[in-house]
Structure 1
Amino acid sequence: MREVLFLRQNQAKWREYESTPARTPEELANRFIELTDDLSYARTFYPDSSTTAYLNALTGKLHQALYKNKSAEQGRFVHFWLRELPLLVARHHGTLGVALLFFVLCTALGALSAALDDSFVRVVLGDQYVNQTLANIERGDPMAVYKGANESVMFLYITVNNIKVSLLAFATGLLPGLGTGTILFRNGMMLGAFQQFFYQKGVLLPSLLTIWIHGTLEISAIVLAGGAGLVMSRGILFPGTYARRESFRRAARDGMQLVLGLAPIFILAGFLEGFVTRHTEMPLAASLLIIGGSAGFIIWYFILYPRRLHQQQTKAFPVS
């Protein structure tokens, strides 16, 4: 990126940081992180520039202010969940939307394939699972598969496995689009075939009321992890005005923060699958409350709240 363009993109922000004190210690810490990123970039590409000297001085001032008040580190965890992660999500809403659209198309393709070919379900889900589920349906308890294992063991196994899948979905973003796309494709096909199988056996509603108790959070988090992988892929393929290496560094950092932010969701989904989903006899209202609450949280925290924060930030710091 040419220095004049680098200045044009960031000068208003630097002036704001220089003239307006941070309102909270957390905001001061966030400004310091952004300035160190800008200073690192300037030192790399404009080592003898006045821009680099200016950024070095401004970063030094923020460093002194930051470490004069040690409480800047307090509340950092809360700040990440209340502001940093939602704003990061808002910044990449388009890419995350692409991941969701692709996953929905793959799910529809999986359902269609299962509807046209009865053997497809066995290919995707495996003979053992299909045979066990058929036996459970004949006994009048189609969701009995969730009752077999010990609750704690099931919770730990599922949580660890889901986190592994999310990290893999992100890491394979290094293979621009292909690795992450493959994981989203596989999971979407499995979900579509899975639900079509229960539809064909006449137990779609019981499956929906049971599986989506944990699946609402689990599937949403897998799609978001895939979106994080696509964020990294986009940084590699479309660097824009940045050098490709710098674009990749920024995209990888954003993607990793997104994936790490999903860990509590996977833990909660694992808890629900291990301890709650097995109670297939629970009242309809309880199932709907859990599913609706989970869906409401995903929509609010990953769509509505990030948009509102982004709009507030844009009004507070308009681009000149």
Structure 2
Amino acid sequence: MKAAEVTSAVSGRIGSFFGRGTVAAPADIESAALRSDKFRLEREADWRRLEDIVAKMERGGLRRIDDADLLALPALYRTAASSLSVARETSLDSATLTYLESLVQRAWFQVYGPRKGFFGWFREFLLGGWSRAVREIWLDVCIALFVMVTGAIVGWVLVSQNTDWYYRLVSTSMADNRVPGASRETLMQTLQVEDSAGGLSGFAAFLFSNNAGVCILAFALGFAFGIPSLMLLIHNMAMLGAMVWLFAGQDLGWEFGAWLSVHGTTELFGILLAGAAGLHIGRSMAFPGTRSILEAASEAGRRSAVVMVGVVLMMVVAALLEAFPRQLVAGTDSRYLIGGVFLTFWLAYFYLYRPDHADEDTL
């Protein structure tokens, strides 16, 4: 901004310098212009640097900012805010005042405002945040997986020893015609496809509500040192083990596995992660290390919450798979193909997909 331009801008506000109704002399106007110009020149380098940093953050977030600029950002913001305060009190030229107001407002949002909107958060969640959180609770996933496999084995052994256990493990509403003593044809009928897709959307909504409820319960029970979460996993898998025993007894184990795999590779994976997330909180509370219990639980809770957001998405996918492909796709090979594709996808996403920009944290 040239001195002449500053002189013109100041002339309209010069009354605030010299009092109302006073006609400013040319020397007074020139003095005010020089003072404004000097104020700007002394601080302009910091303003420009702050403007460059803010512009980079607005275009691409923190990834575009080097460490030196990131460390300097708070100090540069305070300098600009202080300059704005001085400019208002001394009634500097309107152009400088407008520029500083805009710069300080933009910088405030980068320093104190929300870092990203929902879509920015969701994009970061899918492109690294979710998979990273799952890898961070790897020990809890391993424990939960061991418990689930053990639960399925326990269910099989119990019903093979005494069929009365089947009715204790499998609810009447879920059993339907799948009960001990049912013929092979009856059991095979329960694995058949539907004639049409009519009504399956409502069925999908019901399945999502049921599956999500199980996952949220497994997660919520984690506060009691994770023990109730593990017990819930054992119960659910014991029920599955009992049903596998039933179908295997009629030489339908392979067919039942295909029927289950369509949605089961997603649904069971989601239940596994939900149980592991609950266990992660409970384990952090039981073994906080050098942290306080509250601090350990808070940190684990934030990490587990990210996992649970993804689990809800997995339950949506599982419900759609259970309501449509499982009910409409015939053929054992086709069903195994669908289940295998989704299992491969989840494993690759959680354990092989590691974006370069995602920082890897450890337990």
Query: The TM-score by the shorter chain falls in which range?
Result: 0.7 to 0.9
Cα distance in 1 for residues equivalent to 2:161 and 2:154: 11
Q: Are 1:242 and 2:291 matched, yes or no?
A: yes
Q: 1:288 aligns with which of 336, 339, 342?
A: 336
1:191 match: 240
Check the 8 A contact 2:127/2:355 in 1, yes or no.
no
Aligned ranges 1:35-50 → 2 under 5 Å:
none
1:122 maps to which residue? 167
| Cα shift at 1:151 | 0.9
Aligned AA for 2:137? Answer: H
What residue number does 2:85 align with? none
Deviations 1:179-211 (A, max 9, x none): 111111111111111111110122111111111
Describe the superposition over 1:222-279 as per-residue Cα deviations: whole angstroms up to 9, x where unpaired: 0110000011101211111211111111111211221111111101110111112123
CA–CA distance in structure 2, aligned partners of residues 246 and 79 of structure 1: 25
In the TM superposition, residue 301 of structure 1 has moved relative to its aligned partner by: 1.7
Task: State the Cα deviation string for residues 98-131 of structure 1 (Å, max 9, x = none).
Answer: 1111111111111122222222222211456546
Give the distance between the partners of 2:359 and 2:306, measured in 1 at CA.
20
Give 1:297 shift.
1.3
TM alignment of 1:165-314, pairs within 5 A:
165-279=214-328, 282-305=330-353, 308=354, 313=359
The 8 Å contact of residues 259 and 332 in structure 2, kept in 1 or not, is answered as no
DSSP 3-state at the match of 1:241: coil
Output the amino acid matched with 1:66.
Q
Change (3 A) 1:223 1:70: closer
- TM-superposed CA distance for 1:300, in Å, is 1.0
Letter of the structure 1 residue corresponding to residue 350 of structure 2: F
For the residue of structure 1 that corresponds to 2:188, the secondary structure is coil
Change (3 A) 1:258 1:130: closer
**CA offsets, 1:46-67, max 9 Å, x none?**
xxxxxxxx9x958x88974726
TM-score w.r.t. the length of structure 2 is 0.64
1:99 aligns with 2:144: yes
Opposite residue 141 of structure 1, the aligned amino acid is M
What secondary structure sits across from 1:277 in the alignment?
helix
Q: What is the 5 A alignment of 1:50-199?
A: 64=108, 66=110, 72-73=116-117, 75-127=120-172, 129-130=174-175, 132-133=177-178, 137-139=184-186, 141-144=188-191, 147=194, 150-199=199-248
Structure index of larger Rg: 2
| TM-score, structure 1 normalization | 0.72
Is this contact kept in 1: 2:155–2:242, CA < 8 A? yes
**Helix, strand or coil for the counterpart of 2:324?**
helix
Is the CA contact 1:25–1:66 (under 8 Å) kept in the aligned structure 2? Answer: no
- Contact preservation (8 Å) 1:143, 1:207: no
Unaligned runs of 5+ in 2: 1-55, 79-105
After alignment, is 133-142 or 181-190 more displaced? 133-142
Is the alpha carbon distance of 1:63 and 1:210 closer, same or farther for their aligned partners in structure 2, counting shifts above 3 Å?
A: farther
Answer whether contact 2:74 2:111 (CA < 8 A) is retained: no
Q: CA deviation at 1:172?
A: 0.4
Cα deviation for residue 76 of structure 1 reads 2.3
- SS of residue matched to 1:202: coil
CA distance in 2, matches of 1:246, 1:28: 32
**Counterpart selection for 1:25 from 51, 56, 61:** 61
Task: Judging by fraction of residues, say which structure has more helix.
Answer: 1
Matched residue SS, 1:141: helix
Q: Which runs of 5+ in 1 are unaligned?
A: 1-20, 32-53
Q: Shift of residue 72 of structure 1?
A: 4.5
Whole-Å separation in 1 of the counterparts to 2:350 and 2:284: 21
Q: In structure 2, what is the Cα distance between the partners aligned to 1:112 and 1:147? A: 33
Aligned residues: 271
What is the identity percentage for the equivalent residue pairs of Structure 1 and Structure 2?
Answer: 23
Alpha carbons of structure 1 residues 65 and 150: separation in structure 2 relative to 1, 3 Å: closer
More displaced stretch, 188-197 vs 137-146: 137-146
1 or 2 for the larger relative contact order (CA 8 Å, sep ≥6)?
Answer: 1
Paired residues of 2:187 and 2:247 also in contact (CA < 8 A):
no
Post-superposition shift, 1:89?
Answer: 1.5
Counterpart residue type for residue 261 of structure 1: G
